């Protein structure tokens, strides 16, 4: 069963959570919600894959740029050791290099098939993220509970990337920097959180100092990240305090070790 919502100019996890809520109100227990944006077309291959692979709980497909023929937007998310995430295959031509079904760390939030039992187990998208890294957060939680994510090449969607935003604008930069640290705090091991928080504050001081030095020399720079970093620096103590209960719940409820998570991290 699918529910269509014509919400084209709103970004954020709250929209998807609303969609999930409506699905739960209209389907019997055990059905599987199919999540996709209204600018996408998802073929039945994704549904068949979800039905045939009984041990697979999250199915994702290829997201193709709407304005670029045969150019990949995402074949799932890759995450490095500092938990920076990127779209697998992004901006590469589709030459068959992603023709096999693979396990990935997390799906891109634009097109995916999720077992309802997973959502009952892990909860839905964290609304405080609003946008960016909400997918990493949800499926990091899911992985810690023992769920797996698979990429399915037979499912292809046309995706308008950053349709309501601009990459490296103030809003984009703010949410990416802030939400990565929040996801690490909620889901990550203690040293990972300490290291990345310290690196953020040190790098923010360095970037701000360089920016001010350039201004003194009369060099104007477009640096939306400076304002974003200052805002995040003041917010982090509050954010961490507000999510301490979530962290304890996630960390104490995990069914796998962090070693399993570490094995999925790559270098980039």
Determine the pLDDT at residue 206: 98
Q: Looking at the domain that runs over 13-159, which CATH code has it been given?
A: 3.90.550.10
Residues 39-44: what's their mean pLDDT? Answer: 48
Is 47's pLDDT higher than 50?
Answer: no
Is 121's pLDDT higher than 50?
Answer: yes
Determine the pLDDT at residue 46: 47
The 3 state secondary structure assigned to the chain is CCCCCCCCCCCCHHHHHHHHHHHHHHCCCCCCCEEECCCCCCCHHHHHHHHHCCCCCEEEEEEEECCCCCEEEECCEEEECCCCEEECCCCCECCCCCCCCEECCECCCCEEEECHHHHHHHCCCCHHHCCCCHHHHHHHHHHHCCCCEEEEEEEEEEECCCCCCCCCCHHHHHHHHHHHHHHHHHHCCHHHHHHHHHHHHHHHHHHHHHHHHHHHCCCCCCCHHHHHHHHHHHHHHHHHHHCHHHHHHHHHCCCCCHHHHHCCCECC
Is 165's pLDDT higher than 90?
Answer: no
CA-wise closest residue to 79 among 103, 60, 113, 112: 103
Residues 128-146: what's their mean pLDDT? Answer: 96
**Tens digit of each residue's pLDDT (9 = 90 or more) over 79-115:** 999 999 999 999 899 989 999 999 999 998 778 899 9
192: left (phi over 0), alpha (psi -120 to 50) or beta: alpha
Determine the pLDDT at residue 190: 98
Determine the pLDDT at residue 3: 40
Give the span between the Cα atoms of 254 and 239, in whole angstroms. 22
**Tens digit of each residue's pLDDT (9 = 90 or more) over 7-31:** 333 455 655 666 566 666 655 555 5
Kindly list the domain boundaries of the chain, sorted by start residue.
Answer: 13-159, 170-257
Determine the pLDDT at residue 70: 78
Residues 189-208: what's their mean pLDDT? Answer: 98
């Amino acid at each position: 069963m699918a529910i269509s919502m014509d919400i084209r100019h709103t970004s954020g996890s709250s929209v998807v959570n609303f969609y999930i809520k409506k699905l739960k109100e209209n389907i019997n227990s055990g059905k599987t919600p199919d999540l996709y944006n209204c600018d996408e077309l998802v073929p039945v291959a994704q549904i068949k894959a979800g039905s045939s692979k009984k041990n697979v709980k999250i199915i994702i497909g290829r997201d193709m740029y709407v304005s670029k023929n045969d150019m990949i937007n995402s074949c799932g998310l890759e995450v490095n050791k500092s938990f920076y995430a990127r779209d697998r295959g992004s901006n590469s031509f589709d030459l068959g290099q992603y023709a096999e079904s693979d396990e990935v760390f997390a799906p891109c939030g634009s097109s995916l098939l999720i077992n309802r039992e997973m959502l009952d187990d892990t909860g839905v998208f964290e609304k405080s993220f609003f946008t960016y890294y909400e997918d990493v957060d949800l499926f990091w939680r899911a992985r810690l509970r023992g769920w797996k994510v698979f990429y399915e090449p037979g499912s292809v969607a046309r995706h308008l990337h950053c349709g309501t935003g601009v990459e490296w604008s103030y809003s984009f930069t703010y949410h990416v920097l802030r939400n990565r640290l929040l996801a690490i705090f909620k889901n990550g091991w203690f040293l990972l959180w300490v290291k990345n928080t310290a690196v953020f504050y040190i790098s923010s001081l360095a970037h701000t100092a360089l920016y001010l030095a350039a201004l003194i020399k009369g060099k104007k720079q477009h640096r939306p990240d400076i304002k974003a970093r200052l805002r995040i620096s003041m917010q982090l103590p509050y954010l961490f305090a507000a999510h301490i209960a979530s962290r304890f719940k996630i960390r104490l409820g995990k069914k796998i070790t962090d070693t399993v998570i570490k094995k999925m991290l790559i270098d980039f």
